[in-house]
Structure 1
């Protein structure tokens, strides 16, 4: 038997030596292990919201009220049309009768009368969305104005739609 040759090991020796020396080289631009300024902040401390002190935008509230105004201006006409449809539906005869057809036509007129209300609600939502998309901050007072107008629009729309749904249910019998 022959003894193993050490020639391959001798050939790999410079490569192993170069690899070992490269591992000992200093690392340039290595990240520091020192504490960062953000790490000095105690995460248990409450975050103070100073946005309440920011001034509101009176032009925003006025603009949003102007966008919502057609809904409130149209409300009496819609209520009148719904009342007429309620009266005709209460006295409507069987499906297909003359009185039932008149009640259906009156219901259609009431739904059509509510169209400006629906459009105003959509325009209001779009105006608020545009304001948010613009990146302009809504301070708490502005947000309160938006919510108040939205609640008024929602109540108006909800009330009218409930009355219209009741008429539809009465005529569907």
Structure 2
């Protein structure tokens, strides 16, 4: 009889320690931020500002880099296509040669995605520096981004086609 009493005396403090604390849970009512629909565009007036010479020069530099990447890519495309056409089964010498040509082609186009990234960064810098972007800046940056993106997408399609042909 002494054992059950001793056992109850030892367990009673443990049971008390396991009880839930007396705090109130947070409210599940909607918060103000939840009332904003994230799919709606944020209305912001465009700032009328002339396109600065430095922005124009930087856009021209970035487009020149994208075009140089395109020229380097086109110079390497023929040999890569020939190597891909001659590629044998996976792990063969001709397959390895085609893979190396494809890697060289990827390296040759590196300037194009970098230029596209630089154009995007230019837009972000303009927004940050001026708390907005001017309509002329926006139009020039969008036109440059479209041109660089078109070059990049065409190159990506060529590489994807070669990858499919090689079977990598």
- Give the shorter-chain TM-score range: 0.5 to 0.7
Q: Secondary structure at the match of 2:130?
A: coil
CA distance in 2, matches of 1:50, 1:168: 44
Determine the C-alpha separation between the residues in 1 that align with 2:46 and 2:134: 10
Taking a change above 3 Å as real, the CA distance of residues 145 and 106 of structure 1, as seen in their structure-2 partners, is same
Q: Choose the corresponding residue for 1:123, options 118, 121, 135.
A: 118
Tell me how far 1:147 sits from its aligned partner: 0.9
1:102-113 alignment, distance < 5 Å: 102-113=97-108
Per the alignment, residue 35 of structure 2 pairs with: none
Which of 123, 133, 137 pairs up with 1:142?
Answer: 137
Pick one of 67, 73, 85 that aligns with 1:72: 67
> Is there any run of 5+ residues in structure 1 with no aligned partner, and where?
1-48
Report the alpha carbon displacement of residue 126 of structure 1 after superposing the two structures with TM: 1.3
What are structure 2's unaligned runs of at least 5 residues? 1-44
Compute the displacement of 1:144 (Å).
Answer: 1.3
Deviation string 1:123-169 (CA, Å, 9 cap, x unpaired) is 22112211111125433222111111000000000000110011111
Residue in structure 2 matched with residue 37 of structure 1 by the alignment: none
Do the aligned partners of residues 77 and 55 (structure 1) sit closer, same or farther apart at CA in structure 2, a change above 3 Å counting?
closer
Counterpart of 1:46 in structure 2 is none
Q: Which residue of 2 aligns with 1:27?
A: none
TM-score relative to the length of structure 1: 0.63
Separation in structure 2 between the aligned mates of residue 81 and residue 150 of structure 1, nearest angstrom: 24
Aligned-residue offset at 1:51: 5.7
Secondary structure at the counterpart of residue 138 of structure 1? coil
Runs of 4+ in 1 over 4 A off after TM superposition: 49-52
Aligned to 1:93: 88
The number of residues matched between the two structures is: 124
Q: What is the distance in 2 between the residues matched to 1:101 and 1:137?
A: 50
Structure 2 distance, partners of 1:132, 1:51, is: 10
Structure of larger gyration radius: 1
Cα drift, residue 90 of structure 1: 1.2
CA deviation after TM superposition for structure 1 residue 85, in Å: 0.9
